[in-house]
Amino acid sequence: MKNHSEVEAAGEALAAFVLRHPRLFVITGAGVSTDSGIPDYRDANGQWKRSPPVQHGDFMASFDVRKRYWARALIGFKALGSAQVGGAHRVLAALEARGFIEMLVTQNVDRLHQRAGSKRVIDLHGRADTVSCMRCGYSMMRYAIHAEMARMNPRFAAMDAAHAPDGDADLETDFSSFRVYDCPRCGGVLKPDVVYYGDVVPQERRLKAQAALARASGVLAVGTSLMVFSGYRFCREAHALGLPVASLSLGVTRADHLLSHQWRAPLTPVLAHALARLDERNAVAAP
């Protein structure tokens, strides 16, 4: 944990960065939501804290994988469903409201940025609160499919386990008896509207983000190790465009060699201090 003076110094430096580059392309990751009770995937060295998440191909090809996924989700999704907006979400929404953010691209699927009031948001990896049929496109809310599977599997619904990232849970048991709820329209596979590992970000979403990057004056990565290429690619593209790239996180990032500024410090205190400094300077400058 950084001491007060280090947090203040990082906040001052971040405020100066925002003032120099007032049209920010912001990339956020799991670190902005840990204060909301949603676990993250990686440690300060960028290494997995637990087994990697389910692969898209495995989810689609294996009924057993889907059984395990949905059984664990009955428990783990409670962390996402009950999560409240945190301080980092609020400060980033405030920075947007003050005109400092061109676009916020989040790798998270919890929709907490939108709940905090951010409007210029691209959910790079989709959203976890809706599901769609992979055959016919039928869509439904996530809570509805959980209600159906809880009714079909009361024994599993009564289980408990530690929550894991993105609505998963650290549950290990015999999943063979779990009953999966399939598409009520065509019987196809229902899958959360999330880009799983091994899948690709939809082109339209990627192009929208790249267009925003072209309008930006700088990049700020917050709470992300950038180990996943879908987020890292924007730092690489920004560097090629000659844009400054800054990072606020607790550990290393894949883009460390591209960074013009790096603050390894707690997110919310640094962001809050930076916002306070920006507001003070704006008040002084006002007639």
Report the pLDDT value the prediction gives residue 39, as an integer from 0 to 100.
78
Find out whether 235 is annotated in a ligand binding site.
no
pLDDT digits (tens, 9 = 90+) for 182-209: 999 999 999 999 999 889 999 999 999 9
Report the pLDDT value the prediction gives residue 213, as an integer from 0 to 100.
98
pLDDT digits (tens, 9 = 90+) for 101-142: 999 999 999 999 999 999 999 999 999 999 999 999 999 999
Residues 232 and 253: their CA atoms lie apart, in Å, by 9
User: What's the DSSP call for residue 21?
Assistant: S
> pTM for the full model?
0.93
Find out whether 136 is annotated in a ligand binding site.
yes
pLDDT digits (tens, 9 = 90+) for 14-49: 999 999 999 999 999 999 999 998 877 666 767 765
- How far apart, in Å, are the Cα atoms of 80 and each of 74, 111, 163, 168, 183? 11, 9, 9, 9, 23
- Please give the helix or strand (H or E) that residue 222 lies within, else none: strand 218-222
Given the residues 125, 146, 163, 273, the one annotated as active site: 125
CB 200 within 8 A of CB 57: no
Active site residue 163: no
Confidence of residue 1 (pLDDT cuts 50, 70, 90): very low
CB 234 within 8 A of CB 209: yes
Hey, which CATH number is domain 4-285, 3.40.50.2020, 3.40.50.1220, 1.10.10.10, 3.90.1640.10? 3.40.50.1220
**Between 131 and 286, the higher pLDDT residue:** 131
Residue with tokens 């009955």: 74
Q: What residue spans define the domains of the chain?
A: 4-285
Longest dimension (CA), the chain: 70
Residues 6 or more apart whose Cβ sits within 8 Å of residue 231:
27, 29, 105, 107, 124, 221, 224
